[in-house]
Amino acid sequence: MIQKRLNVARFFPARFLSSILLLLLSLATAADEAVETPSLGGYAVFQALFSLILVTVLIFGTAWLLKRFNPAMSQSGHGMKIIGALSLGGRDRLVLVEAGSKQLLLGVSPGRVMLVESFDEPVIDTESSGTPVEEKFRQLLRRS
């Protein structure tokens, strides 16, 4: 075992120098060859921009879908739903949770969850919790 390590250590400088010589030789031959750089045509620019836009739309679409259909929260709540959250700065925030027929206002900070207020009647109506854009879109769909 020790003999094997000595052999590897003895041949390391030779391997290192041979790899540097090979690299320098390949760089020298590459510099000798005249390489013509192709100019970008209109189609190539269009293709690159289209690909960039497509990838950006896919990223934002996937993020939207993950936010909309949160797989971590589906089926694990059993009658509980987060209605809204408000950041208070840093890692502290207020969270409004619906549990059954009650709504709970919770203060959440690292390592601690505290009940701030419990509401018997809904503070925010979750039945019509659509954004104005969603409401206008629904109205347009009903008209057609």
- Two tokens, residue 86: 């408000």
Helical H segments across 33-131, by residue range: 42-68
pLDDT confidence of residue 139: 74
Q: Show Cβ contacts of residue 91 under 8 Å, excluding neighbours closer than 6 positions.
A: 109, 110
Q: What is the pTM of this model?
A: 0.39
The rounded distance, in Å, linking the Cα atoms of 41 and 15 is 45
Domains of the chain by residue range: 1-35, 37-69, 78-125
Percent of the chain with pLDDT over 90: 22
From the list 86, 97, 144, 94, the residue with the least C-alpha distance to 124 is 97
**pLDDT reported for residue 108:** 93
Q: How confident is the model at residue 52 (pLDDT cuts 50, 70, 90)?
A: very high
Distance CA 118, CA 106 (A): 9
Give the C-alpha separation, 131 to 133, whole Å: 5
Q: Which of 14-18, 61-65, 72-76, 91-95 has the lowest mean pLDDT?
A: 72-76
Distance between CA atoms of residues 23 and 32, nearest Å: 14
pLDDT in tens, 68-117: 776 555 555 577 888 888 888 888 999 999 888 889 999 999 999 999 99
Of 77, 115, 72, residue with least CA distance to 95: 115
Q: What is the mean pLDDT of residues 20-38?
A: 66
* Mean pLDDT to the nearest integer, 5-27: 66
Structure tokens at 49: 């921009």
Given a cut of 90, whether residue 131 has pLDDT beyond it is no
Q: Please give the helix or strand (H or E) that residue 12 lies within, else none.
A: helix 2-32
Q: What is the mean pLDDT of residues 123-143?
A: 69
CA angle 35, 27, 37 (to 5 degrees): 15
Residues 27-56: what's their mean pLDDT?
Answer: 77
Average pLDDT score, the chain: 77
20-24, 39-43, 63-67, range with greatest mean pLDDT: 63-67
